[in-house]
Structure 1
C-alpha cells in the first residue's frame, strides 16, 4: 500500500519523512534541459531516505518503472558508486595588477590531463560585465579589483532575474568602496524587512529564503556590514523561520499524511480514534477531516486530492462520525431542544438540521432534512417523522384560529368565501377588500365567525389571537415560505404599537404583520380598534367632539406631537379649549356634482362605532 507520493524534487529539498521503504515509479527526470535517466548517485540519494539513519530500509520499483539492474542495486546497497574520472578546475591564483591581468588569469587553462577547466561561472560572468560594460566606473586599482571580485562572488541564490543579481552586487560594491567602507544598518534593515513575511506558496517562500541567504552571505563577510554580529543572527533567525514555514507548505503540497494515516488504519482494520473539538472540528487519529455542523459533516477535501484519498476519507468518516450523527438524532428526538428561525430552518444547538419548503398551503410546509448522506434511510425517516409532528404541533398551538377558519364547514357560501379570504390573507384583511361579502352575511353569521376569533373592525377584519409575538413570527414565516415573497423583510419590533417615519416600509407586508398605514405612520390594527372605542366612549353629548385623554397616548405608546400628527392624517381636527385638547371628525369635503345623489354616511367612523358589538 502506498502511503506517500513524493516527487524527486521534494525529496531533494530535505523533508525528513519517517519512511522505511522507498519505491520508484519512474527513474527518469527533466533536469531543466532534457529528460534523462537518474544518475546512480541520484538514485542513491532518494533511496537513502528509506530508514534514514534510524532503521534498515529497503527500496525497489513499482508499476511500469524501468528496471534498476543488479549491478546498480549492488552499488546502492554497498554505497559503492563509480569513481570520479575528472575534476573541474579554475585558477584561484588571480592577478589583480590591473583589469586585463585579472581577466586573463581567470581564463587560465589547467596543466593536468585529469583536470577539466570549468565553464564560465556566474562570478566570472558578473566580473566581465562590470569590467567591460562599466569600465569607466571602476578604478584600475588592485585593492578595488579585489573588493570587486569578492562582490562578484556573492552567490545568486535566487537564480531568476540576472539583472536583480547585478543590482545587488553593484550596491554592495558601491557601499564597500564608498566613504563608510561598510553596508549601513538602515540598508540591511530595509532589505530584510521586505523578506520578513510568512504568507504565500512554496515558490514565493522559497524565493524569500533565497534572498535572505544572499544577505546572510553578505552579513557573514568580515567587515562588510555595520554591527556584524547582529545581522548574522538576524539573517539566521529569519532563514530558520522561513524554512520552517516552507517545510509546512511542502508537506501540505507534496505529502498527504492524512490520506495515508486513514488508508493504513482502514486497510489494517485498526480502530481509529475520533475526536470532536471546539467549533465542531473533527479529528480522526489526530488528522483533521472536516467540521460537523449539526447532522452534516463538511469534509475538508483538498483541491488536488486523489479519488482514492477521497474514498478513504469518506469511508473513515462513515465508520467513525456516522455513530455520532445517529446519537445526535436520538438526542434531538429525546429532548426536543430545537427551534425554527427566520431563515426557514430548524436549528439544533446553533446548527440547522432541516429546512422548510412550500407544501400544499402555507399551514402545511414540507421539511427537507439537512443531514449527511452517510446516514441510512431508517434514521432519516425517524427524524423526518419527528420534525413533521413537531412543526404540526407548533402550528396548531400558535395558529389554531387560522386552522379552524380554514376548515370551517358552513352551508352559507358567502360565509365560507369570507372565511377563506381571511385565511388566504394570513388572518388580516382590509374591510374594503371584502365589502361585498360583508353585505351578504347576517349577524348570526358574524357571531359564528366571532366564536372563531374573528374581529370586525373599523378598517379591518382580523383574527385578534394572532397578534401575539410568537404567533406573528410563525404565521409571517410560513406565509413567506409558501409564497416566496417578502423574503428580506421582517416584522416590526414586538411591543411597538406606533411606528413613525416609515415611508419606505412595504405597506402590504406591514398589513400582513398587522399594521395599518397612515402616510408615513403605521399603527397596529388591534390597537387602532381600541383607540376607536376610546374615542367613541369619550364622545361628549351630541357635539361629536372628543376630549384627548392620556389613555389614548398610552395605548399607542407615542408622544403628544405624534398623536396629533396621526389624528390629522385620520381627518380629525384638533383644537385647544380650557387648556385641554379636543378632536372632532371632519372628513375632507368632496366636490359637489350637479346630480343630487343620496348622501352616504356609511364611512363615518362614528356610524361604524355604533354598529360595533360592545357586549
Structure 2
C-alpha cells in the first residue's frame, strides 16, 4: 500500500487557507483560479459549483469554462477552467496550473469523507494547489502534508449568541434550522400563519428548486427561511439571525447531538461580510434545545476540537476481478490519522450484487469490472437504501452489459417522470428519479444520443423543479399575510393601497376585503387566523381607503372637481364653499345650497368624502401646517412663536425686518431651521412653499389674494405689483430663495474679514438677472460695487475686475418711519407747526 500515499511528500506548492465561515476563502480561490492559465476547483455541492461557474464565465467567457457535476456537464472543447463537484472532479489534475478543494473538513464526514480525503492527498495543480476549509483541519494537514503552507483567515463579522426566542418573536431575515423534513414542514406552516410564510431549503430539493426558494427569501418576498443543515454549506444568504429548532440529528447510524463545529458551520450563515449576525434556539423545544456555555463560547470565539482522523478509501482500486476490487475498497490505510471509511452505498451495492451468481458470472474481464463498478457508483438520489437501490442498479447493468442504452428507452423513462402534477412528496420523488437519469445520461459510454438525452433530462428536471417551487410557495407562503406583516408598523403612506371600481380593497396587489359604503368588510375567503390581522390592516389604512372611496363617489356623482376662488367646483357648478378653519391649510367645507335636498345621511357621507379628498389635495401645504402646529406649541417660546406667526401671516415668506428676529436667541433659531424655515439676508421664508403647487393652492382656497406667478420662475420682469414670494431687483424681480442664493455666494467670496473682494456675477446672469438688476439687488443686502478703473488710452491688457464692499444693513430692526409731510401754509396747523419749531 505504500504506492497509495506517494504524494504525501513534496507538497511545497500546496497552500491551506483555513478559517470559519464568512472569511472570503472561496472568493480568494476564484481569484487565484482566474490568475492562472488553467485550473479546477472541487466543491461539495452542485449548487455551489454552478454558482461559481456563472461567476467565472462572466470573467473568462463561456467558451473557456466547464461545469462538471454528476448530473450536468458543460464542457466546451479545450475549456481551461473547470468548476466541479468533488465526486466529478477529474483525476488528471496535474495538467491544470491551479487546483483547489473546498470544504476539506468534509474528509471527516462518514458518507463522503473518503472522496475528499482522496482529493486532498492526490489532487494537485502544476503550479499551485489550494485547500479551503475549517481551522479544525490544521493538525491533519500538518501531519499528512508537512510541507504545505497554512494561512488562517479571521471572520469578517462577529457572531453572537442571542438566546432562545419564540417562533412568533423571531426577527425578520431569520433562518430556522431543523433536522427532519417533518420538522421543517411544521415550522414553515407555523410561520405561514404568524408571519406570512417562509422559504424552504432541504437537501432533497433539486438545485433549481433550492435556488428558487432562496430567491424567494433574498428578494424579500418572505422574511424567513426554514432549512435543514444543508444551509450550512455553500449558500450565501442575507441572514441576520439563525435559530436552531433542534440540536441533534440522525447521522445515518444514530441520533446524536451536533458537535460545536457543526453548530458553528450552520450558525455562521448569520451575518455576511461586514454585517454581524446572531444565533439562538427556538424556545419551547425542551432542555436539549439549548446551547451550553461551552458551546456558545466555542461558536463565538471559533475554537473547536481539532479533527483527529480522516476517512480513507482507495481512490484507484484494481479491477482485476470483483474480489480484488472489493478487497482494495475495504483495505485499511497505512498512514496515521487515516481510518477506513464506513461502508458507503456504492460499496454496499457492489457487494450485494457480487453475491448474485448470474451477475457475478458475467463480470469476467477487468474492463467489465471497471464498468460494473461505475454502474454501482450511481448515487442513490432517491434515498432508497442498499436493497432497493441495488435492484435499480442491477436492472441498469443488464442493459449496459452488452452495450449502450437505447435513446428510445431512455426517452420513455424520462417522459414517465416528466409530469408536473402531484403534491410536494410526489414531485420530490420524481425529481430524485430524474436526477438518476440525468447522471446516467452524462456518462460518456452509457447512452446513445447522449447530448439529446441529457438535454431532455435537464429540461424535465427544470419543469419538475418549477412545479415543486410552486407547491412549496403555495403551501408555505401566504403572500397576503406576508405583505401585511412586513408593512405593519411602517408608514401607511408608503404602501400601495388600491380601491377598485367594484369596491375591492387591495394592499400591494393582495385583496383583503371591500368597502360597503364606508364600512370595511373582510374578504369572505379569509380564515379565522387571518381575520384579526386584516382588520388591523384595514383600520390602519382606512383614511386612505375612504379617500379613494370619496374619489370614486365624487367622480361618479359630480365628475372632476377643482378648487378655485375658495370654492370646490365641478366644471362651473359650485359643489362646496371653503370657509376659514382652525388652520390656513385646513379650511372648513360648507356644501353648496343646491345640495340641501340630499338626505342627511348622504350629506354627511358626502361631506366626509369631500373632507378626505380635500385633505389629500392640500398635501402640498403640509409645510405650512407644520408651522401652524409649532406656533401653537407653548414650549416653542414667545419669541419663536411670534416669528412663526409672522411667517404664517406672510404665507411662507416675509421681509426679515418685519419679523422681530432680533428678539429670537441664536440657540432658538435652530428650531426654525428644523421646521423648514430659512433665515435669509433680507427675507425669512419656507422654500417648500415657494413652489408652484403650494402657491396655486393658497390662492385657490382663498388664503392668499396676492398676484400669482403660475410658474414661479426664478427671475421675472418687475412692476409695481409683485407676485407673492418675489422682491424687486431694479427693473426685474427675483424669487426670494434665488436672491438668498446670490447673497450667500457673495458672502462666500468675501471670506472672513476682507474689506474688498470680487463677486462673480455669472450666477445672477444664469438666473436671468441683468447687470443693473444684480447691482440693485446686492445693494439691498449691503453690498456696494466699486467699479474698476478704466485702462488709460493706449494701454493694453485684461481689464481689472470690479471690487465689492459689504456693510451690514440694519436688519432685524423695525423699518424706518417715513418723515411726516409738512403742513401746508395758510392754515392753523401750519402756524402751530411754526410755533413748535
Q: TM-score normalized by structure 2?
A: 0.35
Q: Which has the higher contact order (CA 8 A, sep 6+)?
A: 2
Bigger radius of gyration among the two: 1
Q: TM-score normalized by structure 1?
A: 0.46
